Amino acid sequence: MNYQTYKPHSDLESLISCYWTLEVPAESDTQRQRIIPDGTIEMAFILGDDIKRYTSEDEFILQPRAMVLGQIIEPFYIQPTGYVNTFAIRFYPYGFGNFVTVPIKDLANKETPIELLFGKKIAKELEQKIVEAISSSERIEIIENFLLDRLNEKTTVDKIVKTTIDALIATKGNASITSILKEDLSKRRQLERNFIKQIGVSPKQLGKVIRLQTALKMLLNKKSENLTDIAYESEYFDQAHFIKDFKEFTGINPKAFLGNENMILSTLFYK
């Protein structure tokens, strides 16, 4: 399994967390992988064999080969059908809204083919260039030119939305809307509406995901195996609240998370 990350162009680094690539040789007995919420939106190009995404225990769809995965608030399973080769762009929560005109809430909890976002002709040309590129650096140059062209047309994310997300990230998800808006609470309803439209989830949901990330990283980096310590460091009210949120977003309890063969991919991303 070869997972690599790359930094974005300086003009895009406030909107894009990273580019990443993943290559996994084909195996005869592949395990389903549980994907858990991380608060980001991703555009992905499947360059290898198809990937299944399970919609129930036994039913699945094939993920679009050029897609955007919106905000997710519950875990789901994917399973490769053979050789895995993926190139993807990981946007900050407010990042992707600067490149499209559709409400980001319409992308939540599903994969959307990029042709529905950018038009069939433009999407086909972009996908073809990405597929035909011979290296990751070439693919990054292609996607950055594409995104910079669109960014120059219009920026659509409200300043108050970005300010709220920055505050949530800085406080590891623990800033309250009241503290962010300070005296101007009249903007609360407007913020809630714009947040759902431009980010895809509510400020509270995103805050819970960001706080959980702090706890997950502590678990994965072996900073502590004591759940009470992790709950305290992540600013949960108590261990019970931590376990409740953990199970809500991952589908399993913290002790079962480590070493779970269905969590290998999510573990790789979170590290």
Residue 175 has pLDDT above 80, yes or no: no
93: Cβ–Cβ under 8 A, 6 or more apart, which residues?
39, 40, 41, 71, 165, 199, 206
102 vs 119: CA distance, rounded Å? 12
140: number of CA atoms within 13 Å, CB side?
Answer: 17
**E strand intervals along the chain:** 2-6, 16-24, 33-35, 41-46, 51-54, 60-62, 66-69, 76-80, 84-91, 111-113
Residue 148's closest CA among 6, 19, 10?
A: 10
Between CA 250 and CA 187 the distance in angstroms is 32
Whether 146 and 94 have beta carbons less than 8 Å apart is answered as no
Check residue 15 and give its pLDDT: 87
Identify the pLDDT of residue 38. 82
pLDDT at 267 over 70: no
> Distance from CA of residue 183 to its chain's centroid?
32
Q: Is 154 helix (H, G, I), strand (E, B) or coil?
A: coil
> When comparing pLDDT for 125 and 161, which is higher?
125
**Model confidence over 39-86: pLDDT tens digits?**
889 999 999 999 999 998 889 999 999 999 998 888 889 999 999 999
pLDDT tens sequence across 85-141:
999 999 988 888 888 888 888 998 899 999 999 999 999 999 999 999 999 999 999
* Class of 2-151 in CATH: mainly beta
Residue 19 and residue 6 in contact, taking contact as beta carbons nearer than 8 Å: yes
Round to whole Å and give the CA distance between 54 and 79: 8
Please report how the helices 188-199 and 159-170 are oriented relative to each other, as an axis angle in degrees rounded to 10. Answer: 80
The better pLDDT of the pair 168, 113 is held by: 113
**Does position 27 have pLDDT exceeding 90, yes or no?**
no
Question: What are the residue boundaries of the structural domains of the chain, listed by start?
Answer: 2-151
Decide if pLDDT at 249 tops 90: no
Q: What is the mean pLDDT of residues 166-185?
A: 75
What residue type is 155 in one-letter code? Answer: T
List of residues 6+ apart from 9 with CB closer than 8 A? 144, 148
Residue 19 CA to residue 25 CA, distance in Å, equals 21
pLDDT class for 234, splitting at 50, 70, 90? confident
End-to-end alpha carbon distance in the chain: 14
